[in-house]
Amino acid sequence: MPLRVGVIALVFATLLAAAPPGGHAPAAAQQGEASLEVAPVTNATPASRVRLPIQVRPREGLAKNSFVRIRGLPATAALSEGYAIAPGSWAVPLNALPNLIVIVPVGLEGKSEVVVALVNVEGSILAEATTILSIARAAPPAAPPAAAAAPPNSTTRALSAPQLAPADRDRALKLHARGEEQLGRGNIYAARQFFERAAEAGLAESALALAATYDAAELARLQVLGLKPDPGEAKKWYERARELGAPEAEARLRRLGGR
């Protein structure tokens, strides 16, 4: 009897030593089952929306609750899909990857190393890849030659953007970033509140963004469904954006029929 007990104890100890911690299969053994593909660099500009292409192959053999975890995004940036799990970290379901957009707020610049991981329902990493999110201002357009200046009777209005104090501009930019985040999540009414507060503080980008939430053409471009446009409010805020110095406002007013 003591001999049988000793043999059983030896077998049990051997099994425990061979098992990985937590009872899960090691990630290295599973990485061959799936792979991640991301672009080496994802370029963006401040106040923009840029696609973040992520390919998972193959998809058929993955567990239903597998997801992609994204870490290293700037804290004020947001994604159009998934949900935030910590500042700069997001969890995105696999079926949302084809439409994944990075929402870059106004005033954000620099480079960030973004780590993308394929994670199963047990928390094991099946595959991992990195991309550099590079945010830089677009080069300003070249000044037109003197001969191309508008004639004296032109109806073009000169834009004179008011200068905000640094502290006021910083607060307005934070409000605008929160508006962009809500807009990316489809919360139009919440986005309007943040844009309006920033526009009232004197931020041209916010007045332009607020007007767009009432503009039928812009709502269609953003693929917003079920929200009735309001041309009057769109014109009002485009005019405010023009006063604050937003160059795009003039063309949008002409499209709406304003002067």
Check residue 150 and give its pLDDT: 44
Which of 15-24, 104-113, 190-199 is predicted with the least confidence, judged by mean pLDDT? 15-24
- Among 12-26, 202-216, 228-242, name the one with the lowest average pLDDT: 12-26
Whether the bond into 229 is cis, omega within 30 of 0: no
At the topology level, CATH places domain 26-135 in Immunoglobulin-like (2.60.40)
Helix%, strand%, coil% for the chain, nearest 5: 40, 20, 35
Give mean pLDDT, residues 212-238: 88
Q: Would you say residue 22 has pLDDT above 50?
A: no
Tokens 């911690």, residue? 21
Residue 6's pLDDT band, with cuts at 50, 70 and 90, is very low
Strands (E), 146-252: none
Q: Which one is predicted more confidently, 199 or 47?
A: 199
Q: What three-state secondary structure class fits 113?
A: strand
Separation between Cα atoms, residue 181 and residue 83, nearest integer Å: 11
Please give the pLDDT value at position 164.
78
Whether residue 133 contacts residue 102, with contact meaning beta carbons closer than 8 Å, is answered with yes
Q: How far apart are CA 84 and CA 87, in angstroms?
A: 7
What average pLDDT does range 42-52 have in this prediction?
89
Residues 6 or more apart whose Cβ sits within 8 Å of residue 113: 72, 130, 131, 132
pLDDT class of 23 with cuts at 50, 70, 90: very low
Cα separation, 133 vs 70, whole angstroms: 12
Could you tell me where in the chain the CATH 2.60.40.10 domains are found?
26-135
Q: What average pLDDT score do residues 83-90 get?
A: 89
pLDDT per residue as tens digits for the range 155-200: 344 344 567 788 888 898 999 999 999 988 888 899 999 999 999 9
Pairing of β 48-51 and β 101-104: antiparallel
Q: Using CA atoms, how far apart are residues 34 and 54, in angstroms rounded to an integer?
A: 13
What CATH topology corresponds to 163-256?
A: 1.25.40
- The neighbouring-strand residues paired with 115 are 71, 130
Contact in structure between 92 and 82 (CB atoms under 8 Å): yes
CA-to-CA distance for 105 and 76, rounded, in angstroms? 7
| Paired tokens of 164 | 């905000």
What is residue 18's predicted lDDT score, i.e. its pLDDT? 42
CATH 1.25.40.10 residue ranges of the chain are 163-256
What's the chain's average pLDDT?
79
